[in-house]
Structure 1
Amino acid sequence: MRIGLLGTGPWATAAHAPALQDHPDLDFVGVWGRRPEAAEELAGRHGTRAYQDVDALLADVDAVAVALPPSVQAGLAVRAASAGCHLLLDKPVATTAEQAREVVAAVRAAEVASVVFFTTRFVPGSAAWITEQAATGGWFTARAQWLGAVFSDAGHPFATPWRKEKGALWDVGPHALSVLLPVLGDVRRVAAAVPGPGDTAQLVLDHEGGASSTLTLSLTAPPAASGAEVQLRGASGVADLPESTEGAVPSLVRAADALLGAARTGTPHPCDAAFGLRVTEILAEAELLLDKNTG
């Protein structure tokens, strides 16, 4: 599959470009970015072509991987799908439900495959745990803590403008939801959303399966306190999401495998654009409550 990369930032540099270059079943055709000089540098590093015209890249590929801020990603995803390109998207798909719906509509209209890179879902141990707990069922409650130090660790490469604007809710919130939804079921309502220190958000969710979950999300945690944990409690006892030290590149390679499979079979992947839309809708509901409770 011929694939192009949209984006030249730290995530594109650290994860996307190496994964696309190393994948045995992908032909890494080229890079487009909003900064042409960055596209030239990244393309040169990986022996591929820098494109100044995004439509020219879309015309030369079968698929695109997107590593751009979500508000930029959404519009380009619609454009790429309309050009017949399969989509390997980053989370969140968008930061408004309207934008995310436009992406899903374009994917369906063009009949292209889509996969959203919720990192944890492409880590083998974590994915197996999620499948096992979903099959077990009977969960009463869950607690998820996704704490990063992006804004408390000076010079952190991911302290990007969109993260400063949207905060932990939109950056790490999708990770937590990608674990909880397949286990506890869809969210019937966001029961509470309360701001904490810095960009910290604390949510209480009511799930269709009858369970409740609490989420603590932050990018301003002290570095010594950062980390991710998910714990379930129910009829079968207590279950904790296994820790993983695997880097992003192997997980992204597996996400590309998933895109290849969905494109080949026509069977939607569980982490497709429609799932990304549902995550966006939940986060948008939480954002409204946070705004009401701020100050």
Structure 2
Amino acid sequence: MTHHPRPLATARSHDPRPIRVGLVGAGPWARTMHARMLAAGPETELAAVWARRTEAAAEVAAPYGARVAGSFEELLDLCEAVAFAVPPAVQAELAVHAAEAGKPMLLEKPLGSDLPSARKVAEAVAEHGVVTQLVLTKRYHPATREFLRRAGRATVVGARSCYLHGAFLGGDFATPWRLEQGALLDLGPHLVDLLDAAVGPIATVRGTGDPRRWIELTCEHTNGAVSQASLSGSVRLPRARTRVELFGPDEELVYDTAELDHEECWPVLRREFAEAVRSGRGNGIDAQRGLRLQELLDRAMA
């Protein structure tokens, strides 16, 4: 079966019809976020679902009247764009094929289970000129964008941050890849992305501790600032805690997700992905950004 990449200057630029998205995966995140978000529209519709277990794909597809693809190749034929909700190793393998087929992609973080596989994804995306968008959830909340806007005008000399929860202790998200890789690859992309964007580009990063229990990162930024990040998915808390504190000669600037409603992220994410697919221009939160974050996390592990 031959697929022909669609050029970046797409004919859908002013087409009001929803983008037909195929979903890869049928786990908890596919059910609770991806399928529900994509089917809610109006910018997108859930066209089809494929998973290695057909019965699981059918359960995800049924509430939205989506097709169940018999293979990944069939999914590519049924959609204009692809969304991934699978473990990093699976995403990295299939995303290369989707890029070769010219399909815009909604990608999860991390891009791959290791740096070489992440690099293959980014290289395939660049080679075939496909638009991508990364599901760095918090980046799509208005409060996050306001924090980053204010941080861009501040002089920061130091920062402290944390992303902590107990999801790895049990439940739907205590999945094999998370238990094996730990918080660094699961939570790390979110926090390192915020520090890199709010404080300034990270030049060096060092990690201490065990990613499966608790890991501390110390980052030195190109502007001379120093930041620290605490990461764990294995501590008992009443709810997830994400906090970034910026310090400098002016009043401290604090970002805290305790009061944020993450439901506000999904319409923004969906709208921007659809706009990217239609226009052929992404929002910068893409595979290349994902590769940079994975390069930084790889240095921390080293």
TM-score of the superposition, structure 1-length normalised? 0.91
* Match status 1:185 vs 2:200: yes
Preserved contact between residue 144 and residue 229 of structure 1 (Cα < 8 Å): yes
Deviations 1:104-153 (A, max 9, x none): 1211222211110101101111122112212x13100111110011133x
Distance 2:68 2:239 in 1: 40
* Match status 1:133 vs 2:151: yes
**How many percent identity over aligned positions?**
35
- The aligned counterpart of 1:145 is 162
Tell me the secondary structure at the aligned position of residue 23 of structure 2. Answer: strand
Per-residue deviation, 1:48: 0.9
- The aligned counterpart of 2:117 is 99
- The aligned counterpart of 1:36 is 54
Preserved contact between residue 146 and residue 176 of structure 1 (Cα < 8 Å): yes
Aligned residues: 284
- The aligned counterpart of 1:75 is 93
Per-residue deviation, 1:225: 7.5
TM-score of the superposition, structure 2-length normalised? 0.89
Distance 1:75 1:246 in 2: 34
Unaligned runs of 5+ in 2: 1-18
Per-residue deviation, 1:168: 0.6
Structure 1 stretch 224-233 or stretch 208-217: which is displaced more?
224-233
* Match status 1:213 vs 2:231: no
Residue 47 of structure 1, aligned match among 65, 79, 94:
65
Unaligned runs of 5+ in 1: 289-295
Preserved contact between residue 4 and residue 64 of structure 1 (Cα < 8 Å): yes
Per-residue deviation, 1:98: 1.6
Tell me the secondary structure at the aligned position of residue 168 of structure 2. Answer: coil
Distance 1:53 1:196 in 2: 38
Preserved contact between residue 20 and residue 28 of structure 1 (Cα < 8 Å): yes
* Match status 1:261 vs 2:275: yes
Distance 2:219 2:95 in 1: 29
Preserved contact between residue 44 and residue 274 of structure 2 (Cα < 8 Å): no
Residue 12 of structure 1, aligned match among 16, 21, 30:
30
Compute the RMSD of aligned alpha carbons: 1.7
Structure 1 139/70 Cα, relative in aligned 2: closer, same or farther at 3 Å? same
Per-residue deviation, 1:27: 2.5
Per-residue deviation, 1:10: 0.5
Deviations 1:216-255 (A, max 9, x none): 0000112248411110001222000043545555423322
- The aligned counterpart of 1:172 is 187
Per-residue deviation, 1:263: 2.6
Per-residue deviation, 1:47: 1.4
